[in-house]
Structure 1
Amino acid sequence: MKILSLLRTAMFGTALLATAGASFAQQPKVLNLAFVGRTTAPEGIAMTAFAEEIKTKTNGRIEIRLHPGGALGGDREVLEGLQIGTVDLTVPSTSVIANFVPEVQVFDIPFLFRDFDHAQAVLDGPIGQEILAKFKAKGLQGLAFGGIGFRQLTNSKRPVNGPEDVKGLKIRTQENQIHLQVWRALGALPTPMALPEVFTALQQGVVDGQENPIGAILNNKFGQVQKYLTITNHAFTPIGFVMAPRAFEALSPDDRQLFLNAAKHAMAICKDEVAKVEKTGIEELRKQGLQIVEKVDTAKFQELLKGTFADLGKRFGEATIARIKDQK
């Protein structure tokens, strides 16, 4: 009986170990995806779809854990986290990526793109892919490019009908040298600032205004602390889907291709969501009490930026800019 009891105990212990081993083996690989937008923003909806696609197509082997709303820091902090391996994925504006990969700054040239279709064709085409390939040397793995729409100007001081109304306005910008150069050329006082800090800065009058796509203006509730919106369409806002090289290289070749495909699919979803937001967003902001200036003579803005355009042509090469403008 004693021997039988010992055998049963041993078998029970073996069964427990087998169960624990199976349970351990079933634990998903968790990757952290941080971004400054909200889950209701176009890029947030796209990232949720990306996480779902990865989970479904790996049968739960890989889980993408979302950290929206700047929970792990601003775009620059998160990109630095990718470089040192504390964050796995992010989807920041290329205006911030430019601090790490200067070549993406060509996309920040004002009035460069005709419309979203033109911008996406450039980003998915040879020029975009050539630039995406440069991320690796900077400790980043580029997955795909997308966009969150054209930038518009809000402020709390006065309606902006033309560039003369911009003079003297303290405008929050992204941490990007071209944006600073452009707003200075227009007579504004640009102030670079991480997105999570902007609402409070507007509320307290640290800055008079900011510029962002309609979706970002809505999702960050800037309409609550601004009085005027001008539809300037002065610059397109590309985003880069970026991964930590360490995390990317740890994937199998099949999973790497899955991530690349899912990232591109997510960027297509983001584009569709931007279109939805822009259809209704201006009216929503009008309902919130903003005075909207919809008809703007952008030629006046471009006239003031002639010197800036000449400087940027020398910097990036007129041939490169022409390739972008000629993209069908």
Structure 2
Amino acid sequence: MRMNKHTVALALLAAWTAATAQDIQERVIKFGHVNPQGHHLSMGVQKFAELVAARSGGKITVKEFAASTLGGEQQQFSATQGGVQEMVVLSATVTGAVVKEFTLLDIPFSFARGEQVDTLLQGPFGQALLQRLPDKGLIGLGFWEAGFRQFTNSRRPIQTVEDLKGLKVRVIPNPMFVESFAALGTNPVPMAFPELYGALESRAMDAQENPFAITLSAKFYEVQKYLSVTNHVYTASPVLVSKRFWDKLSAAERKLLQDAATEAGAYQRKLSRDTSVAARKELEGKMQVNDVPAPVLARMRELTAPVADKFAASYDPALVKLYREELDKARK
């Protein structure tokens, strides 16, 4: 029987689909993170799980483990690296423990808008970072986000650099954060997040810095009066897969996970930014909110630049050069 072009195409498609289906095995993926369900990163994981289930014909199940069920970021990072946990999404800061150039993303006052970050991380620099992970037992599927960090305190609105002087501010245990905030004249104190609310409530700490959504969900507005919009650091969230697990996958399975992570990432970043706008609006009814003037932010960038240069001097010069070139392009 003679077949027309349409029939041939359908036959080829059916054969390809059957072959691909044979390349997809029954699998369960433990995907952990430290955020509560309902957080935009949690919703990104759920979107990823939906896409993977649909595209694998239900063969691959992604199980979300939210709210530090599998441990803190460092614990989950090590578990994924060791193959005990299949996937994790966490901060670029933690990833910097094995590829220190990831902490280039922690340099303060680098970005003004999310679109600049997207251009940087979806371009040659982002790919160069991810390409350094396999040697460390990890595969990077892209970058999601926790978003821009803002400054809150119980003393005064931050309208000048001088307003920061002497404030005791909780920072994440990250040397670049500690030294940058010291350069701004504050007294930075590394502290675990679960301890923060109590420290603010007792006035052991004057200030903290986190994205709008975290300030809202953690109810820091109950113990902080002033919120100053600085966008001083953008927190990128790499999506990581255990290389031990990845090496067991077929090419079809790898492509399926990569495509799902990319699509879920676009969804998650938009959700994060929409959530940020809504959270700010809600916080404006609970705190005194001010935008720090652009010239003041420029001065803050100048003050913290030597700290960034100090850390960058210990990184791979080629990657630092690429970072700076691509960042300049993104800003334009």
- TM (norm. structure 1) is 0.84
* Coordinate RMSD, CA, aligned: 2.2
| Match in the other structure for 2:22 | none
**Preserved contact between residue 108 and residue 236 of structure 1 (Cα < 8 Å):** yes
Per-residue deviation, residues 192-221 of structure 1 (Å, max 9, x unmatched) = 344444334434444332212222322333
Q: How far apart, in 1, do the equivalents of 2:68 and 2:31 lie? A: 11
| Match in the other structure for 1:145 | 143
| Match in the other structure for 2:259 | 261
Whichever residue aligns with residue 39 of structure 1, its letter is Q
Q: How far apart, in 1, do the equivalents of 2:46 and 2:232 lie? A: 29
| Match in the other structure for 2:164 | 166
Q: How far apart, in 2, do the equivalents of 1:197 and 1:250 lie? A: 40
Q: Cα–Cα, structure 1 residues 309 and 94, in superposed 2: closer, same or farther, change >3 Å?
A: closer
1:275 correspondence with 2:277: no
**Preserved contact between residue 176 and residue 308 of structure 2 (Cα < 8 Å):** no
Per-residue deviation, residues 59-107 of structure 1 (Å, max 9, x unmatched) = 2212111111222222112101212233221111102211222011111
Q: CA deviation at 1:126?
A: 0.7
Matches within 5 A, 1:40-189: 40-189=38-187
Q: How far apart, in 2, do the equivalents of 1:303 and 1:323 lie? A: 19
Q: Cα–Cα, structure 1 residues 215 and 325, in superposed 2: closer, same or farther, change >3 Å?
A: same
| Match in the other structure for 2:6 | none
Describe the SS at the equivalent of 2:313. Answer: helix
| Match in the other structure for 2:310 | 311
Per-residue deviation, residues 287-311 of structure 1 (Å, max 9, x unmatched) = 2x21112233212212322432443
Describe the SS at the equivalent of 1:32. Answer: strand
Aligned residues: 301
Q: CA deviation at 1:239?
A: 0.9
Q: CA deviation at 1:50?
A: 0.5
Matches within 5 A, 1:8-23: none
Q: How far apart, in 1, do the equivalents of 2:219 and 2:64 lie? A: 21
Whichever residue aligns with residue 45 of structure 2, its letter is M
Q: How far apart, in 2, do the equivalents of 1:220 and 1:48 lie? A: 22
**Preserved contact between residue 74 and residue 196 of structure 1 (Cα < 8 Å):** no
Q: How far apart, in 2, do the equivalents of 1:256 and 1:221 lie? A: 40
**Preserved contact between residue 172 and residue 193 of structure 1 (Cα < 8 Å):** yes
Q: How far apart, in 2, do the equivalents of 1:227 and 1:63 lie? A: 44
Q: How far apart, in 1, do the equivalents of 2:303 and 2:46 lie? A: 41
Q: How far apart, in 1, do the equivalents of 2:134 and 2:190 lie? A: 26
Describe the SS at the equivalent of 1:105. Answer: helix
Q: How far apart, in 2, do the equivalents of 1:311 and 1:124 lie? A: 26
Q: How far apart, in 2, do the equivalents of 1:66 and 1:246 lie? A: 19
Whichever residue aligns with residue 131 of structure 2, its letter is A
Whichever residue aligns with residue 131 of structure 1, its letter is L
Per-residue deviation, residues 138-192 of structure 1 (Å, max 9, x unmatched) = 2222111132321111123332222222223232222322112211111222233
1:327 correspondence with 2:309: no
Q: How far apart, in 2, do the equivalents of 1:269 and 1:111 lie? A: 25
For structure 1, the 5+ residue unaligned runs are 1-26
Whichever residue aligns with residue 34 of structure 2, its letter is V
Matches within 5 A, 1:278-293: 278-287=276-285, 289-293=286-290
Q: Select which of 281, 285, 292 maps to 1:295.
A: 292
Q: Which stretch shows the higher mean deviation, 314-323 or 134-143?
A: 314-323
Q: Which has the larger radius of gyration?
A: 1
- TM (norm. structure 2) is 0.83
For structure 2, the 5+ residue unaligned runs are 1-24
Q: How far apart, in 2, do the equivalents of 1:149 and 1:55 lie? A: 28
Q: Cα–Cα, structure 1 residues 263 and 203, in superposed 2: closer, same or farther, change >3 Å?
A: farther
Whichever residue aligns with residue 298 of structure 1, its letter is L
Kindly, what percent of the aligned residue pairs are identical? 32
Q: CA deviation at 1:238?
A: 0.9
